Every structure is written in structure tokens, then in C-alpha cells.
Amino acid sequence: MADSRDEATDQMKTWKENRARQVCLPACLPVCLSVCPPAARLRGQTAETSLAVPLREFCLQQKPDTLTTGAGHPIGDKLNLQTAGPRGPLLVQDVVFTDEMAHFDRERIPERVVHAKGGGAFGYFEVTHDITRFCKARVFEHVGKTTPIAIRFSTVAGESGSADTVRDPRGFAVKFYSEEGNWDLTGNNTPIFFIRDSMLFPSFIHSQKRNPQTHMKDPDMVWDFWSLRPESLHQVSFLFSDRGLPDGFRHMNGYGSHTFKMVNAHGEPLYCKFHFKTDQGIKNLSVEEADRLASTNPDYAIGDLFNAIANGNFPSWTFFIQVMTFEQAEKFEFNPFDLTKVWSHKEYPLIPVGKLVLNRNPVNYFAEVEQLAFDPSNMPPGIEASPDKMLQGRLFSYPDTHRHRLGANYLQIPVNCPFRTRVTNYQRDGPMCMFDNQGGAPNYYPNSFSAPEVQPRFVESKFKVSPDVGRYNSADEDNFTQVRTFYAEVLNEEERQRLCQNMAGALKGAQVFIQKRMVENLKAVHADYANRVQTLLNQNNAVVKKNTSVHVYSRPAASEVAAPSKM
């Protein structure tokens, strides 16, 4: 595999260059300096040129570094244990060994519950069109402005070691290192999702993971959940279409998916959606090619992204928004905050904003990708949350999982650090505090000692809500119209046939009563959709009976009928 790898940068040289910067510069600065704006590149310079070049030359001219322990003590022998004689036992005082082994035992941090397998890169966002009439966020403040970014792409359901060419949505998360704090736009390669109420999210993910008894992926779990929740039909149809197998990360679009709120400098709010259209063109894998890559090159998408950037083929995406006024939202034909639906591009056309470019690979995957943490609640002034029930749930869930996975001070990790602004607050202490803990400044508020003070101009916009608190059932909010449009009008005949083949090929692994329920849902979308899938299932079921898999979930015989959806 190494022989076939594309030519890339000298990683040891890159590592030494970054070590030189890290020794003499603040911890957060390498992230900033790694992403130089276009103007600096055109001049042949970067922000760190005057300081880092001498350091770089100095570092590269030196002999190999002295090997040390984690505490910096020089090591004389790294190949042999300290023992009582050549055949005797190990001594507890062998701190070279215990230092190494104790750290090795703690190398792994908890894997992401979702989006565990992924790759990432760094670059910049450049504003090409003025949208200040919609949004006051400084990231958009003038045409030509550039902002450093990090993007992480991922699959959703698979573990960290799984193949990245499987049929699965792809995560598309963008971190803008803004001077008003980091803005995390945590989206996918689809404009929709399987559910619209975040109460269902843990169960949905459990259904996509492993059976608690067999520890295997279970079609019964997957299709039982989907068939009981018809609002998933839109995303399921998208998933089993050609776009369910994108050719790497560079040839797919990205979407903020949720509805957000924008506020301009006059305090005028409106709703918006974010879109990233790939400049490389949409490319998808065939089922056969995706299966082949899953077995021969399970890191295909990560490698494709890394090699492209290493060879100077920098991928880019054009950034668009859709906007909707509050008055339009009130009169809209469906809930504009429904994550299972899209806004018509004809009624709400795409408005160009700028361009995202990725031009730097991570120097160390763990430091810059595995620890890279996105949080939808990270929104600078001018961008706010909407009542989208999925977004509202994610505002809590994402930072909560980062605090579990990375620690309470995960925002001090360099790749997550909002390095373009100064963090001043009343948060203190906690594990892995990486800076001066804000010194001796007061750690309580209010106080009388000129410590950080609130700025009323940054208060969030006001909005009206329903006065009646309750648990509102949103399951039956037209789950079929947009799916029908997707099937009958967006897809051509060949694409419809492949969709049905792909769906039937996956659905055949579920028990027959689940198959029947799913087909009943498809009938509500389009008769042709249901008939094609049922015909293919009939053919598949005849073969499956000869080689029946064990189903660990079963129901009483009297219940072996098409069950109603859990609405």
C-alpha cells in the first residue's frame, strides 16, 4: 500500500518545522499560521515568515533531537529493560519503561458515538458576495475577507476502523476561526435527515449500530425503526440513491441542513439555510466499486483527500444561503424548521456568499482531526438557532459529548481554540487546563474589579413562542409529498431502478413483517416505488429461505402482521 501512495510532503520535515514554531510561539498560534490568507500567499509570504523561517532553518540544520521521557529527561537506552541480571525480573525503578508503558495504556480516548470514521483538512473561507443586508457576523463583513477554517468529513454509523466507502450519510462539519469566536457549522452531505425530533436520536443511532446480543449489524433493527417512523422516507430514499455512495469527500456537497436564524446590524432577523456546492463536481461510486474498495482500501476517502491536497490539488466548495422572512415562515406550506424536508430552490433561490478552500493536511491526525470538536451552539453574533427540534437537541448534545470525550477544557486544545479572539470569562480549573487559568483575575460575577463585563449589543434577538408547553407529536407532518417529488421528478428512470435495487438488497435481510410495513410506507409515496421494491423482495426472499439468518428479535405469531407506524 505504501508503494502505491501518492507523493506527499516530507512528514518528518513538516513535524520539525511545526516543532520549531511550537517551541517559540503560543500554543494556539500554529493553527492560525497554518492557514495563510490568499493575499499573503500571492506575496510569497505567510504571517509567520519573519520568525519561523530562521527557526525552520535552525531546526533542520541540527542533529537528531535527543530522545527524552515525557518529563524531558534524556534517555540513554530505549531498547532494553532494566533488569536484575540478563535473565532477571524487571525493576520498578525503570522509569524509562514505566513512563512509556503508562502513556501507551492511555493513548485511546473514547471514540465518537457517531461520525467516528473521518478525515479532515484546513484552509480558508473567502467572501465573494455581500450578504451584510442579512447578517452582521464579521465573517461576512466585506467582500474579499478571508477566515481560517477546518473541515472534518466522516461516515455516520461506522466505527473508527470501518470502511469509508459504505452506504451511509457523510458528515460535513466546518469550523470558522472567526475573530468573534469559532463558528461551527456541523452538517452532512444531505440537506435532510431521518428524524425531526431529537428525542428519537439515541434510538435511531442504536438501530444503526450493533445488536446488543450478537454484536453484529442487524437489518431488523435498521428497518424496524425506519418503517415505524415514515418521516425517515426522504432521507432513506436519498441514502439508497446513487448519492448514498459518494466518491470520496471531495466530490460531494455539504449542507448545514438545519434552519438557522440570521440577524443584521439593524437587528432585523430572518431564517436561513446553508449550502456548500462542490467545485469538483458530483461523483458517486457504483455498488460494485464501493464494495471492492471497502475490502481493498477501507481508507479510500481519507487517502483521496490527503493525496489531493499534498499534490496541490486543493478542493473547494462554493458557499450559498437560502433566506426566508418570518412572515414567509408563518405562511409556509409546512413547518420550515422540519429537518426531513427541503426549501424549494425555485421559491427560495440560492444566494452566493463565498468559497471554501482546503490547502493544508493535518500534521498529526490525532492532534488535529481526532481531537477536532464541532459544536452547533458555537455561533458568533448575527447567527442564532431556530426552533428546529433537532438543532435544539444538538445544542446540548454536542458540547456534552466533547466534555466527556476530550474533557471540560476541550476548547483549550489548539485545534479547537478560538485563537482569533481573547477568551475572558469566569470558568476555571478542570482537568487538562492548558493555559494560565486566567491568572489571578476574579472568578465570580458580578464583581467590582474591572473583570470581564457583558456587552448589551450582543444580546440575542427576541422572538415569539407558543405559550402552551407540551410534548407535541410531529410524526405525521406530510411525510410523503417531497419524497414523491424526489422519486418521480428528481431521479431519472435508471436512477429510480438503482434506488429500488439498492433498497431491496438491504431490506431483504429484515423479517418479512418489517418488509411489508416498509413497502406499505412506499405505497404512500408512489405505487411504482412500492411495486418495484416488492417485486425485487419477492425474488430475494425465495433465495433467502435457502440460507436463513438467525433473527434474535421475534414476536408472537399472532402479531406477525404489518404493524402500524409508531406515530
Residue 126: what residue type?
A: E
In contact, 353 and 319? CB cutoff 8 Å: yes
Residue with cell 457523510: 170
Q: Which three cell numbers stand for residue 474?
A: 410531529
For 214-227, the DSSP string reads: T-SB-HHHHHHHHH
Whether the upstream peptide bond of residue 556 has omega within 30° of 0, thus cis, is: no
Whether the upstream peptide bond of residue 446 has omega within 30° of 0, thus cis, is: yes
Q: Which three cell numbers stand for residue 6?
A: 501518492
Q: How many CB atoms within 10 Å of residue 297? A: 17
- Smallest CA-to-CA distance from 520 within 534, 507, 510 is with 534
Instruction: Give the residue numbers marked as catalytic.
Output: 115, 188
Report the distance separating Cα 552 and Cα 543, nearest Å.
20
Q: Which three cell numbers stand for residue 170?
A: 457523510
Which residue(s) pair with 274 in the sheet?
321
State how far Cα 168 lies from the chain centre: 13
Report the distance separating Cα 84 and Cα 259, nearest Å.
67
Q: Which three cell numbers stand for residue 293?
A: 474498495
The set of residues, in sequence order, having a beta carbon less than 8 Å from that of 279 and lying 6+ positions away, is 315, 316, 317, 318, 355
Q: For every residue of 90-115, which 3-state class applies, written as one string? A: ECCCCHHHHHHHHHHCCCCCCCCCCC
Helix and strand numbers (H, E) in the chain are 17, 10
What is the total residue count of the chain?
567
Q: Is 182 helix (H, G, I), strand (E, B) or coil?
A: strand
